Amino acid sequence: MLKTTLKILAGLLLLVVASLFAIPYFFKDQITAKITTIINSKVDANVSFKDANLSLFKNFPNASLTLDSLLIINKAPFAGDTLVSLGELDLKMSVKELFKDANETMNIQGIATKNGDVNILFNKDGLGNYDIAIKDDKPATESSDSKLSLNIQNYKVDNLRFKYYDESSKIKLVLDSINHEGTGDFAASKLDLVTQTTTKVSLDMDKVNYMKNVALTLDAVLGIDLENSKYSFKENKALINQLPLEFDGFIQIVEGGQDYDLKFKTPTSSFKNFLGVIPAAYASSLDNVKTTGDFTIVGFAKGRYSDTTVPKFNIAIASNNASFKYPDLPKSVQNIVIDTKIINETGILNDTYVNLDKLSFKIDQDVFNAKAKITNVTQNAIVDAMLKGTVNLGNLSQAYPIKLDKPLSGILKADVTTKFDMQSVENSQYQNINNAGTMSLSGFKYTDENGKALNISTALVQFNPSQVNLKQFNAATGKSDISVTGILENFYGFIFKNQELKGNFTLFSNQLAVSDFMTTGSTTASTGNTASKTATKTTPQATDAMKIPAFLNCTLSAKANTVLYDNLTLKDVSGKLLVKDEKVTMENVKTSIFGGSMGLNGSVSTKGKTPVFDMNLGLNQVDIAQSFTQLDMLKKLAPIAGIINGKLNSTIKLNGNLTNDMSPDLKSLTGDLLGQLLSTTVNASNSTLLTALTSNIKFLDLSKINFNDLKAAITFKDGQVNVRPFDIKYKDIKATVGGTHGFDQTMNYSLKFDVPAKYLGSDANALIAKLTPTDAAKLESIPINALMTGSFTNPKISTDLKTAVTNLTNQLIQQQKAELISKGTSKLTDLINKNKKPGDTTKTVVPTTKAEVQEQAKVEVKKQATSLLKGLLNKKKTTTPAATTPPATETEQNP
């Protein structure tokens, strides 16, 4: 019997579970269609969601409808703007709501959202994008009778971002990472809503930031009167960072706006309240901090917020003769006085004013005072301020727990008064800005996380009417020292309006090392030891690409005795630098280098992802050996280091990308070079290529070639160098050289020689001597071509000596044939006998006819010329040292 009962119960349970799974499939489409119809009948916007899921388990015993990726997109005049974007919207309801007809009211008991964005925007005409409810006078849709009742008992918001922006007032409010939940019976006309909220607040007004990611916590009980649209603060505890505040009063929605009657204050008067305002990232625990004196915030807001008015308000922030000391720090901050008021007495927003009547504190013997007044805040803010006092920066970290990797040091002194309006700042109307006084910094030292130190010995800024003058700035870092003076043209525009920092400066340096101004990074990697997984090590990273600041728009006239760049030492550097739009333009830059001088015009830009440059260089009387050894770019363009000595004049135009250390990326170079060699000598033995060349062309002695005043032009692109053909003269031998080579040292060059026959040796000269002076003068130069391939370190040389032999033979044949024919048979017989080898008893056959004379003359002359050139061109040169023995070549030498 028991077993039967258990089986029945198990079956029933299985049936219930199965029903809980099955019911959502039957009602999902019906509920989804009803929700969609209700939304579309209520709002004038484009509403969509990716998917809908109905579940009886998520909020059991209630049903739950979840809409995924809900979007509400505005129509005109905000067409295309996203009003609401929710990753998930969850609606909780009773299961019985699933069985209602389409015309019956659906009751929603709970709402929850996750990962959402709400963007509220007011345009210049004062229209808000949130006003999407269909007006009563708009024609109703067929399903407008569909009803939705919000009998909410609880709601919850997880990770919502709320953004508010008013184009006319330029007020931007952002509430980030909102986590909020409330519990109350919205079915009742009057209820108490218990809420808990955490968020981070940022506030900007007309490009000026007043709050940035200020942590806000609020636990409050709100009394809600739905009939009268009145919301009262009953019990609440708020924290702004760690500053406690209490609220009292109400907000009521009325026709034309909202009525405010609010009061707030700090529940205690301890000076710890002030320390609590400071973000936690710049402070530490307040538990053991010793304080004296008080700090209070008291305020109210009363009146109507409408299109033309704001509530009147008064916020007073005050502290008198206070002090604090952190337990682990040696110094204290004393004599703290704060007297600040933010007031609006008319209800007109522009009449709001801020009075900082006094801000003062003392550390050791150093006293600092400030006061300011800001009026006309929304239309054209007017600032009247004063700073006076001394701050020892080294004392700051000894009195307050500033989180610095390395301590600061230095003395800051200020005695400045200023009065200006924001419109004059924005429009660069410097004549309306009144400044007076000075500000100085001395003995400043800062060391970054990589151990790189910046030392400012003296910095002095003088505030003159309508101008800020950098009178002195002396600093050192690494191997570098700099001294700067100049004028800051729009100091306030840079500080308050995010404008470019404009100015004209003069810089001098005894020594400037470019590497001192590069940024480097490091990364922490696990050691991989299982026994000590927490152990780490720091490994250096490659230097980050230097970025030219986008806010700079200035002119810099610079002079440096020495500039160290990579492995180069530049002397007597001078020129003008124009900095704008993340680009440096260099004008008339001059320097002494490689025993000569260099002029430079061009630009460097870091605006794109990869830094780029465009340069025109002029080299004058530079030492070839130094320049082609120390400059990688010249090594690739012409690998002649150690081979040619002397001086070089050259103009180089080039552009390309820069690497992270601001060196040219050789693979990206494009440009051209025109060079002239001066007072040069050649060390052929230092070049495998030249050794191979002279071994294959016997008449060529490179050590005797004069390269003085030789001019050559090359172009380069995509790692390939093209040398335009140029002429070299060696005595009265003419040579034309041209071709290409790659940055990888592969090459393809051709040499064309016009060689007079007299340079082919004594035998050739003896033969030529037998010609009449007239015929010898008619003898042409011999063209010889050579092709150089392979690489500079492993060259392959081929020549057309066979063709050269044929050309010479043909010339001699024509000359000798003409002579023999004119002189007759006896002369030919003598020539034949002369060419017989010893022991040759062959009977000489003497031609008798003219035809026989011509044919025999042709044979004998060709035989003589061929024998002559074979012996000449295969002669061994003077013994060459083994170290410079050329590699195997592909020489055609034997005709």
Encode 747-793 in three state secondary structure. Answer: EEEEEEEEECHHHHCHHHHHHHHCCCHHHHHHCCCEEEEEEEEEECC
| Predicted local confidence at residue 134, as pLDDT | 76
pLDDT of residue 461: 93
For 301-342, how does the pLDDT look when each residue is reduced to its tens digit (9 = 90+)? 999 988 889 999 999 999 998 999 988 889 999 999 999 999
Give the residue among 490, 480, 491 at the shortest CA–CA distance from 439.
491
Q: Cβ(613)–Cβ(603) under 8 Å?
A: yes
The torsion defined by the Cα of 579, 581, 584 and 586, in degrees rounded to 10, comes to -80
Residues 6+ apart with CB under 8 A from 341: 314, 315, 316, 317, 354, 355, 357
What distances in angstroms separate CA 19 from CA 14, 15, 181, one per listed residue?
8, 6, 32
Please return the burial class of 4, using the count of CB atoms within 10 Å of its CB with bins 0-12, 13-18 and 19+. exposed
pLDDT of residue 830: 57
Q: Is residue 64 part of a domain?
A: yes
- Residue after which a domain boundary falls, among 729, 753, 777: 753
Q: Is there a single domain that holds both residue 360 and residue 418?
A: no
The answer to whether residues 369 and 452 belong to one domain is no
- Sort 619 into a burial class: Cβ within 10 Å, 0-12 / 13-18 / 19+: buried
Rounded to whole angstroms, the Cα distance separating 369 from 416 reads 11
User: Residue 70 domain-assigned?
Assistant: yes
Would residue 273 count as lying in a domain?
yes
Pair 746, 640 in one domain: yes
Q: Which residues pair with 676 in a beta bridge?
A: 649, 711
Q: How far is CA 344 from the centre of its chain?
A: 45
pLDDT at 352: 93
Closest CA to 516 of 482, 480, 473: 480
Spatial contact of 755 and 699, defined as CB atoms under 8 Å apart: yes
Tokens 């002090």 belong to 323
pLDDT in tens, 63-106: 777 888 888 888 888 888 898 898 888 888 766 666 666 566 66
Cβ(536)–Cβ(526) under 8 Å? yes
Q: Kindly write down the DSSP assignment for every residue of 50-91, as one continuous string.
A: SEEEEEEEEETTEEEEEEEEEEEE--TTSTT-EEEEEEEEEE
- Across 565-579, b (16+ Cβ under 10 Å) vs e yields beeeebeebebebeb
CA distances from 465 to 180, 323, 436, 453, 462 (A): 52, 37, 6, 35, 10
Cβ-contact 341, 325 below 8 angstroms: no
pLDDT of residue 793: 81
753, 772, 795: which is the final residue of a domain?
Answer: 753
Determine the pLDDT at residue 239. Answer: 85
Q: DSSP letter at 684?
A: G
Q: 213 vs 109, 205, 576, 696, CA distance in Å?
A: 34, 15, 42, 79
| Contact by Cβ (8 Å): 637, 721 | yes
Query: Which residues are CB-contacts of 456 (< 8 A; sequence separation ≥ 6)?
Result: 410, 441, 442, 443, 444, 445, 473, 474, 475
Task: State whether the Cα torsion 186-189-192-197 is positive or negative.
Answer: positive
Which residues are registered as beta bridge partners of 488?
Answer: 468, 503
Task: List all residues 6 or more positions away from 33 whose beta carbon is below 8 Å from its beta carbon.
Answer: none
Cis status of the peptide bond prior to 881, with omega within 30 of 0: no
User: Token digits for 731?
Assistant: 């005595």
Domain boundary among 371, 387, 403: 403
- In this structure, are residues 442 and 459 in contact, taking their beta carbons and an 8 Å threshold? yes
d(CA 666, CA 637): 10
Supply the pLDDT for residue 234: 85
Q: For the segment 680-728, what is each residue's pLDDT rounded down to a tens digit?
A: 777 766 677 777 777 667 667 766 676 777 788 889 888 888 889 888 8
Single-letter code of the amino acid located at 732: D
Q: 360 and 445: one domain?
A: no
Domain of 610 in residue numbering reads as: 513-519+542-753
CA distance 692 to 890: 11
Residue 164 in domain: yes
Same domain, 604 and 721: yes
Indicate the pairing of strand 148-166 with strand 106-122. parallel
DSSP 128: B
393 in the same domain as 433: no
Question: 10 Å Cβ neighbour count for 494?
Answer: 20
What distance lies between CA 526 and its chain's CA centroid? 29
Pair 418, 350 in one domain: no
Instruction: Indicate whether 194 belongs to any domain.
Output: no
* Judgement on whether residues 252 and 359 belong to the same structural domain of the protein: yes
Amino acid at 609: K
Domain count for the chain, please give it: 4
Q: Pinpoint the alpha helices (H) of 632-681.
A: 632-637
Residue 352 inside a domain? The answer is yes
**Domain match, 299 and 445 both:** no
| Same structural domain, 438 and 575 | no
- d(C-alpha 286, C-alpha 241), whole Å: 12
Helices 850-873 and 825-834: crossing angle in degrees, nearest 10, is 30
Count Cβ atoms below 10 Å from residue 101 Cβ, excluding itself.
Answer: 7
**What is the residue whose two structure tokens read 């170079």?**
669
3-class secondary structure for 322-352?
EEEECCCCCCCEEEEEEEEEEEECCCCHHHC
Inside any domain, residue 95: yes
Tell whether 253 and 327 lie within a shared domain.
yes
Q: For residues 302 and 51, what is the distance between their CA atoms, to the nearest angstrom?
A: 46
Query: According to the model, what pLDDT value does residue 796 have?
Result: 87
Residue 555's DSSP bridge partners are 504, 578
At 851, phi and psi to the nearest 5?
-65, -40
Residues of the chain with pLDDT under 50: 2-23, 25-26, 138-146, 520-542, 828, 846, 871-873, 875-895
d(CA 697, CA 691): 10
Neighbour tally for 67: CB within 10 Å: 22
Question: Does 128 fall in a domain?
Answer: yes
Cis peptide, bond prior to residue 639, ω within 30 of zero: no
Whether residues 392 and 410 fall in one domain: no
- Cβ–Cβ < 8 Å for 713, 673: yes
